[in-house]
Amino acid sequence: MAGRWPEEDVRVPVARQTWRTMTFLHWRFQPEVVQRLLPEGLRVHERDGAAWVSLTPFVLADFRLGVGPAIPRLSTFPETNLRTYVVGPDGRDGIWFLDMEVASAAAAVALRSVLSLPYRVAEMEVDEAGPVRYRSTRRVSRGADSATVGHDIVIAPGAPLSGTDGDADDSLDHWLAGRWRAISRPAGQLVATPVRHEPWPLRGAEVLRLDESILAHAGLARPVEPPLVRYAPGVSVSLGAPGLVRQAASGTPST
């Protein structure tokens, strides 16, 4: 269940990493707008009648498969995801990625093959000194046309959220950030990758620059309402082996 504390027990990780310098840009959407972007078998996970979509630029650090060591100069690189929140046919909630990009071609191949997640390669840079600046660009083709997709985002991290240590597990901040499985659909089958890490040390943040074309590329018009912005220095992450998402038994309650 979404919340502050991890739900999954990843005893034998297939990959380990640190998510560092993480910014969350959360937008509220009408559920039907997001539902049309989801594959069969998934439904929007609503909160107070709304769907949410989040853009999350960060630095993936110390990436390694299994229990092996990180490879110097190859294991740390920028990543940006566009994600929404869903409930699967088994009644469990998770993340569905509308877009995923990393600056490492080798990592993209490894993550696609091991975790069945749709990573793409982009030219990316993160400046962690002072206000944090995230930049990304990649060329995409649709038929005979091509375009550039990317972002240039500058964030000023703020103070820890007041009362974060005592927040209820189902507060909006932890409902959005605390997600414990990533759902994907390789070869037409829904699979879930379990995720485990410590609770997010969330901070407030101010947007100093927000230029992005990732939402539009995913088929979403950016809302007029400004995003809810949060920042976290980082967490250490273990990812488990993907498993098939099965239909819930009759009468099983959904989250």
In a domain, 70, yes or no: yes
82 pLDDT above the threshold of 80: yes
Give how many domains the chain has, as a whole number.
Answer: 1
- The rounded distance, in Å, linking the Cα atoms of 225 and 80 is 22
Cα separation, 225 vs 202, whole angstroms = 22
Residue 187 has pLDDT above 70, yes or no: yes
Decide if pLDDT at 254 tops 50: no
User: Is there a domain that residue 183 lies in?
Assistant: yes
Residues in the chain: 255
Please, what's the b/e burial string for 137-170 (b: 16 or more CB within 10 A of its CB; e: otherwise)?
ebeeeeeeeeeebbbebbbebeeebeebeebeee
User: 207 lies in a domain?
Assistant: yes
Contact yes or no for 237/16 (Cβ under 8 A): yes
Q: What percent of the chain has pLDDT over 70?
A: 92
Where is average pLDDT lowest: 78-82, 117-121, 190-194, 222-226? Answer: 117-121
Is residue 193 in some structural domain? Answer: yes
- Give the bridge partners for 230, in sequence order: 24, 204
* 10 located within any domain: no
- CATH label of the domain that carries residue 104: 2.40.400.10
Task: With a cut of 60, say whether residue 255 has pLDDT above it.
Answer: no
Q: Is residue 3 part of a domain?
A: no
Res 234: pLDDT: 96
Report pLDDT for 194.
95
Residues 87-112 have a mean pLDDT of: 91
- Name the band, by pLDDT with cuts 50, 70 and 90, for residue 188: confident
* Residue 252 is assigned to a structural domain of this protein: no
- Paired with 125 in beta bridges are 135
The pLDDT of residue 110 is: 77
Q: Which 3-state string (H, E, C) describes the chain?
A: CCCCCCCCCCCCCCEEEEEEEEEEEEEEECHHHHHCCCCCCCEECCECCEEEEEEEEEEEEEEEECCCCCCCCCCCEEEEEEEEEEECCCCCEEEEEEEEEECCHHHHHHHHHHHCCCCEECEEEEECCCCEEEEEEEEEEECCEEEEEEEEEEEEEEEECCCHHHCCCCCHHHHHHCCCEEEECHHHCCEEEEEEECCCCCEEEEEEEEEECHHHHCCCCCCCCCCEEEEEEEEEEEECCCEECCCCCCCCCCC
Give me the mean pLDDT over the 89-113 stretch. Answer: 90
Residue 133's pLDDT band (cuts 50, 70, 90): very high
pTM exceeds 0.85, yes or no: yes
Residue 164's pLDDT is: 46
What does the pLDDT read at residue 53? 98
pLDDT in tens, 142-159: 766 788 999 999 999 999
Burial of 9 (0-12, 13-18, 19+ CB in 10 A): exposed
Any domain includes 255: no
Q: For residue 215, which of 151, 127, 128, 129 has the smallest C-alpha distance?
A: 151
Domain that holds residue 24: 15-243
Q: Which of 87-96, 134-143, 172-181, 188-197 has the lowest mean pLDDT?
A: 134-143
